[in-house]
Amino acid sequence: MKTVPFLDLSAQYATIRKEIETSLEEVFNSASFVGGPFVESFEKEFAIFCDCGYAAGTSNGTSALWMTLLSLGIGPGDEVITVPNTFIATAEAITYSGARPVFVDVEERSHTMNPALLEKAITLKTKAVIPVHLFGQPADMDPIMEIARNHGLFVVEDACQAHGAQYKGKAAGSIGDAGCFSFYPGKNLGAYGEAGAVVTNNPELAEKIKILRDHGQSRKYYHKVIGWNGRMDGLQGAVLSVKLKYLPAWNEARRKNAALYSNLLMDVKEITLPTEMDYARHVYHLYAIRTHNRDDLKGYLAERGIECGIHYPVPVHLQEAYRHFGILKGTFPVAEKCAEEFLSLPMYPELTREQIGYVATELRNKLR
């Protein structure tokens, strides 16, 4: 039986192994293990990549979101609007800043924030909006930005799945007040452990985040504010600098893989394929189809050696952690429908045409 893993990080490592080993040896020789020149070098490179003036490396994507909100002055009594079909970290960051997450539903085709619903969710307590660039596709930022600016709201892009994605030619993360990224190993740009970053064109915001991530220090042992330990380590900075050079080619490979999937599956009526919106350059962190018999199909493919994922089976507003909000099922019908139907097929740059063909063949065998 053939096997197709959902993700194969070893295949990518094999192509850059010598460069990675060299970069890690440099870190070991310099003993720059926390922050330091390797993180600073990556920050400069990533800021340029995102067409932003500044980048601040962080311990992970969650801390990037959280410390951005804190640095914008968001806290108890405030509200931050986001979407319910996202990884819970988006809402956790809001909650741990002391604010309250407020949800709006998503669009049927893009699966990102529906701008037509945004204004109705704004209250006198609203201080920011966090659109999520889900699965590698940017949200429709122009109307979101217009509404936010009309109401004096900050916009923080959750670009944790959108490294290298574009909205009308603009880099994901460069459009709002800040963009937050995760470098969890499975991301398009993944570290060899935990790491994240914030990009911005606001030098004061970047400086606040850098102080906050380092226990509130402006310099060693001089603490301007009560901060946190949210630093990126030198090993991850070095690894990410190596991998960033390859990210455009890896993203293009993902796009070609997505196009092949779509070509092979376009006439299968029982599934809905992901749509690249006309304003977006999708980088396919995930290739998530929709089907009414998702769990059955996932089991069928697993029996044939094809590993799939589900992102995400329970929308945030229905999670037990947020049950105290009292939001009833049916409140956000599109997000809830997506949660029941999404099935993420294997997707990574090194995926072969033969593997994609096998996945498509088995899907067609099951659904024809």
Instruction: Report, as ranges of residue numbers, the positions in the chain whose pLDDT lies below 70.
Output: 1
Q: Does the CA dihedral 64-69-73-75 come out positive or negative?
A: negative
The pLDDT of residue 368: 79
Q: Are 4 and 363 in contact (CB under 8 A)?
A: no
Distance (Å, whole) CA 219 – CA 323: 42
Domains of the chain in sequence order = 9-104+112-244 (3.40.640.10), 248-367 (3.90.1150.10)
The pLDDT of residue 343: 98
The pLDDT of residue 2: 85
Q: Are 177 and 203 in contact (CB under 8 A)?
A: no
> pLDDT for 202-240, tens place per residue?
999 999 999 999 999 999 999 999 999 999 999 999 999
Distance (Å, whole) CA 330 – CA 346: 30
> pLDDT for 28-54, tens place per residue?
999 999 999 999 999 999 999 999 999
Distance (Å, whole) CA 50 – CA 98: 29
The pLDDT of residue 1: 61
Distance (Å, whole) CA 70 – CA 93: 9
